Structure 1
């Protein structure tokens, strides 16, 4: 293995490149409008099908990591991501091509996120897991700060052709970085003993509570897939929300590195979910940039420490031999929310408009936090 800082930098760059691929699809509503596409009514399915396929393949991803290792699984995953991004770029006028490309992206994401998470949890000592995941998770916020505004600028300038060229470029970069990862598993990753049935994992109360927390948190995250549609309906700029979200999330992850390792992570996850859901609700009342920026900041504060805290719970509740499969189920539930949420929000928007649909979702999520906290406290899955 290389020096820890070199591995951390490598994983950060890989995370940044991989996360940049999806940025174009956070702006797909403005893209469809800018191109005069007839597929606007299918937006929920275009966004959601990726995560539906991703969710379905999560168990397979965990088994593949056990059989061939994280690096090979990661390379295969980013190969599929590259194929999906290229399919969307070349066939953006045709709905079947859009759906097929997004499905390939979902298959690739399924493999990359499980293998990447398993690799990091195996490579990092438990006492430093929270701060390490916080640093690599910064890679998820950098594209929102740099890539998203640039892509929105291309759309506003009428450069729709260039807009869809960037996802394949980022996917190619991620594939190269995955291929350049050190071969072989970190030492503790070889302890994995495949064969534990997924149904047995789901019988463990601590795991079930973890996955419930994943669903509630992921629904707040997935709702941002429709922020650009909300912004369009209010004649706002989506980047206002995403920029403030990313700046606050970035600052939180950099300034509070030890915070996640010192405090009970189960409580941090509940607090973070409440902040993120509150940010969603606040954004629905925005009529100008100030409140939209504030909503993004509140949302970003929750995501800033909530996402790495939630990921660190995998290492808290699962012994090393179970981590590939627990990671697979973790991301299965996370991706399922990204499949369901855009479709439900789009359906709700047809009845309540986007502000009403997102507001209702945020209120329901806030209402679930007290029961969730009681379950987490009872199961005590965090240190």
Structure 2
């Protein structure tokens, strides 16, 4: 399952460095239209995730993941067709649907197969497959484009999800709940964890969108390293400390994660040289990485079984919303000062302490009432 997720998210990441070239060089579009192309998929994924979770619980996760992978193959074909900017936007819309189906159904499947004492670790590893794909994908896309053409990128973008389909066909389907599935799109169990994850996402959004620009404005080269270092720390800490939420509980993890990520943001905000900003990116990525498994654990433990699919989809949707909001607010502040952008992110990240602590306490009360 993780292999299928890695391949498809590598396909998503593959086109990240290529789409700006396609829009501006081939389709004669603007920078705004580049941003729109990326925004479309995120908005659609946000809307579809809760439905995807419900569908996975009704039919089993494998058919939903297969449908998501098949749609991503279709996306690669749409990229290749000479349909101009409308065709590109249509492709990104379909990609958002495919991404939501694949990731959310896989989350439901992962939870159904995992013993309760290891849920935080396994859910964390599942999310790591997504991040690894988004880290490897852009590097692969740059290599494929420089050694081939747009066509070579589109072919590669189709082959990767085809591998996912092949992997999924060999896996048994997950259990189905049928008519027992709740129809709520925003289960109460997802609200506080989702808000906490959204606050934490401000740090990632700031580094990804404004890290390189902030350093360039200070006369510092190689600012693009920041997002790579953030990702390296994210992956490394998740691998080394993936069981921590299960062993010590979500609350201490949330407190440490949010505090550490905020420190990283402050370092980047005031970094006078590259190594200080690089240290900030490493610290922020290492802090942010355990926030999702800790919050997912809270969501799983407090959601009724019939709502778990929608709840897991919903907390991921909070991440999508937060990245979009952070981009808008951070971009507005960047017109005045990049330092202000990263300080805003630090303050937002600290908001994870409030909402995450409240969510963890709610979980403790829920468990104490549920256990006779």
TM-score bracket, normalised by the shorter chain, equals 0.7 to 0.9
Match of 1:352 in 2: 336
The yes-or-no answer on 1:68 pairing with 2:54 is no
**1:128-143 alignment to 2 at 5 Å?**
128-143=118-133
Tell me which moved more, 37-46 or 118-127.
Answer: 37-46
- Residue among 330, 336, 359 paired with 1:376: 359
The yes-or-no answer on 1:246 pairing with 2:231 is yes
Change (3 A) 1:222 1:317: farther
SS in 1 for 2:242: coil
Match of 1:5 in 2: none
Conserved in 1, the CA contact under 8 Å of 2:196 and 2:352? Answer: no
The yes-or-no answer on 1:230 pairing with 2:216 is no
Conserved in 2, the CA contact under 8 Å of 1:26 and 1:226? Answer: no
What's the TM-score once normalised by structure 1's chain length?
A: 0.79
The Cα of 1:115 is off from its aligned counterpart by: 0.4
- Residue among 14, 17, 35 paired with 2:4: 14
Change (3 A) 1:13 1:60: same
CA distance in 1, matches of 2:21, 2:272: 22
Match of 1:337 in 2: 322
Match of 1:213 in 2: 196
The Cα of 1:226 is off from its aligned counterpart by: 1.8
SS in 2 for 1:57: helix
The yes-or-no answer on 1:58 pairing with 2:49 is yes
CA distance in 2, matches of 1:84, 1:284: 38
Query: Which stretches of structure 1, 4 residues or more, deviate above 6 A after TM superposition?
Result: 155-158
SS in 1 for 2:171: coil
**1:103-118 alignment to 2 at 5 Å?**
103-118=93-108
Change (3 A) 1:279 1:110: same
**1:140-289 alignment to 2 at 5 Å?**
140-143=130-133, 146-152=136-142, 162-163=152-153, 165-182=155-172, 184-185=173-174, 189-191=175-177, 194-198=180-184, 201-202=187-188, 206-227=189-210, 230=213, 236-237=221-222, 240-285=225-270, 289=274
**1:296-335 alignment to 2 at 5 Å?**
296-335=281-320
Conserved in 2, the CA contact under 8 Å of 1:240 and 1:292? Answer: no
Conserved in 2, the CA contact under 8 Å of 1:30 and 1:228? Answer: no
Conserved in 2, the CA contact under 8 Å of 1:126 and 1:315? Answer: no
SS in 2 for 1:140: helix
The Cα of 1:219 is off from its aligned counterpart by: 3.6
Equivalent residues, number: 363
Change (3 A) 1:236 1:369: same
CA distance in 2, matches of 1:176, 1:238: 39
Conserved in 2, the CA contact under 8 Å of 1:29 and 1:43? Answer: yes
RMSD: 3.5
What's the TM-score once normalised by structure 2's chain length?
A: 0.81
Change (3 A) 1:24 1:226: farther
Match of 2:31 in 1: 40
- Structure 2: which 5+ runs fail to align? 368-372
Change (3 A) 1:334 1:12: same
Change (3 A) 1:301 1:99: same
CA distance in 2, matches of 1:38, 1:194: 48
CA shift digits 1:126-166 (9 cap, x unpaired): 01112222333332343355443343456678966645554
Conserved in 2, the CA contact under 8 Å of 1:32 and 1:40? Answer: no
CA distance in 2, matches of 1:79, 1:199: 25
SS in 2 for 1:198: coil
Conserved in 1, the CA contact under 8 Å of 2:54 and 2:182? Answer: no
The Cα of 1:77 is off from its aligned counterpart by: 1.2
